[in-house]
Structure 1
Amino acid sequence: MENLIIAGQFLLSLSLLIVLHELGHFIPAKIFKTRVEKFYLFFDYKFSIIKKKIGGTVYGIGWIPLGGYVKIAGMIDESMDTEQMKQPAQPWEFRSKPAWQRLIIMLGGVIVNFVLGLLIYIMIFSVWGQEVIQPTDVKNGFSISNTMKKYGFRDGDTFLKVDGNPVENVLDVNKQLFLRDIKTIQVLHADGSKEVLSIPSDIGKEMWQLNDLQPFALRHYAIIDSVIPGNPASLSGFMKSDKIVSVNGEKSIYWSDFTSKIQESKGEAIEVVVNRGEVLITLTVTPGEDKKIGVTPMFSPDDNFIITHKKYNIFQSVDKGAAAAYWTLKDYMSQFKYVFTKKGASSMGGFISIAKIFKPVWHWEIFWANTAFLSIMLGFMNLLPIPALDGGHVVFTIYEMISGKKPGDKFLEYSQIAGFILLLSLLAFANGNDIYKLVFG
């Protein structure tokens, strides 16, 4: 049932984005009196699920859910209708229109994607507001990974300013550190002192290489929620609700301290003191080969932080929505560079990975937030200068406007074929990664 809910949200979001993107091409084409022969949700190779001709345009739904398209007369596109291009150009065809009109028609889809993302973000802030954890509302600070400790961060720190700007939501700092060119972070140490720490310019690359994308984690008390049967902890007498007091004589009241001590044990027996019903009990446990003992933490938000719900009027929502759309695009562009690394290639995901951003319960705020993200992502991807994508057509059209020379139909045809093969290869590779991960974990 949960998978059906995820699939339903993904299909609805994808369908909405495809229809509106293609509408972005359709409307300017109609304005410039260019004939649109087909308007399709999904691809209709060999047959359609539904189709109906209205006013010279066939509207339909295909059976291959890999996108959608509008077939514009006199244009070499994914339909690869080269027979039409052999005939004399007609005034209603795309190829007969001035270059500036063709440019607008090709940019229409991505413009709709970006505007849609912006409008959805504005709606989200206006309807639901925003939940944030402010620096003053973090009760136990953050646990710091070894990656960041060498730059002066300490366990128990919280964040006050990033590049001199007050931190609104402390949970955003990890993402900002990874994707944005941060130079300084002002921290509040557990002892009450403040310090401005310098951040190296290549910190994002270091986090990526070390697979440490969440170096700051909210600290919470080391209280056991469950003990996995048959594991070292269950064999050593650990029980649900045990509060960790110390490990090998060192105070370890936070979960990060507790797990660090287990990792450092190198498989040797460790002595753990727990508080069970206000009685201190000493347990001896030897971690397994995976350096784990088989326990999960009990996490109580009320004991660790306070969530503030912020509401915004329409004017504030416009400002917040514009900022969200801008940073979504900028952050996505920043992380795109990692795709061209060996690790990035193996991390590429297809439809299964995209679908997983949706939740197994239907939550409209999360649904719209994911749709806004996907809309901006698709807008950016479609702008890439690859033949068969809008960006490829845009590049050829701009070249024509600058040089005064229009690329030949054969060149456009072969470019379209090459681009289409490239896109299919990337699609097969990304979805192959998904299937591999699904089968082998």
Structure 2
Amino acid sequence: MKAKDIMNCFFEECCTTDHVGYVKNMMIEKQSDFAIVVDREGRYKGVLYARSIVNTSIEGKTCHEIMSEVRAIGEEQALEHINDDYKSFIPVINRMGYPVGIITLEEMFNLWRTEKKEPVFQRKTPNNRTAKYTIDDIIGNSHIVMSLKESILSAARVRSTVLILGETGVGKELVAQAIANLSARRFKPFVRINCAAIPENLLESELFGYEAGAYTGALKGGNQGKFEIADGGTIFLDEIGDMQLMMQAKILRVLQEREIEKIGGRYPIPVDVRVIAATHADLERMIENREFRQDLYYRLNVIPIHIPPLREHVEDIEPLFNHYINLYAEEMGLTAPNVERGVYEMLKAYHWPGNVRELKNLVEMLIASNSGRIAKGMLSSYFSDKLEYERQDENYLKLNSIEAEREMILKYLKMHDNNKNKVADVLGISRSTLYNKLKRYQIK
């Protein structure tokens, strides 16, 4: 068993440069007798105990001056290798040095005392699937990716609702699963539902379930909904921007009351579920257009996390490309191919409208068709096809805008009995400009 299997992700944190008086007040407010100390980059440095504050004059001192340099263990470290150097708890860090949890000695004692081969928290039922991906599956070393990981760590420590925003293909579900896997709910179900993929008339039963006989075709014993399956864990509402207003109201009630009502049910059922929602849509614009409820937006947007598109951190393309090369080569039982010089420059010059998902699909295609190396010519064909599609799209938009303008001029000419002075005035253009457009569009 590893440290990450029993660690607790909830702990107080302070910075080496924080004044001790500030941390003292925080400990009193949070009723905590210690705080994990990190540097300005968020990496683990030590522990500040409350007893150190009590036994020391704190006038003008920072946390770095009176903290204890307690050795942290890696989250992947096996528990049988832990020695007896620790007093009350063991700090746990990930491979980048960020604190991700603590293990209390009481938890260690309870673990050693039990003789069960499989701890209770690891039991799974067919409907109890935990999150698959972790924060280490987010590849990249850019400032953008490191900042994203810090946001994930912060979100994992609390129980509040999270709203993940970003273009299609940036990895919103990956972030959601990373949050769930770092949280106190990591051994509980992680349930995903794509709000855009399920018809409106079926979405309610999928989310909340139904009782026996609730409608024609209902299963004899009724059915659990996703919220009930996720009880104690996390539910990921993907593409919530595509959810209809009526269903938005029902989700709002779940967030407010922490209970659901099955279709055909007589009584509400309490649920303990953390909600993580995601969308590529501009929810604020949708609120203005009355397409999304403002009150639901406020309920969801407690912890907003924005994932930038790949074109904004092109320095991560090379490690991502190499990661997927090794991944797919291993899956296909092939030797990872060599990458020809100049390939990475071509990858970075492309703007990746499909983001990481498009890059991942490209690598899979290259691995499946490669002969030992990935050459620039293989990419040239892919990128030229993409650019051709874009040119076609641009031409399509241009043609449609021209047709729309022609139809508008015809409409106003008819409305004002071919009075060209009036039409030019309504359109906000000069008479000569209108005549040029009439000639261009062959309007007599």
TM range (shorter): under 0.3
TM-score, L = length of structure 1: 0.21
| Larger strand fraction of residues | 1
Structure number with higher relative contact order (C-alpha < 8 Å, ≥ 6 residues apart): 1
Give the TM-score normalised by the residue count of structure 2: 0.21
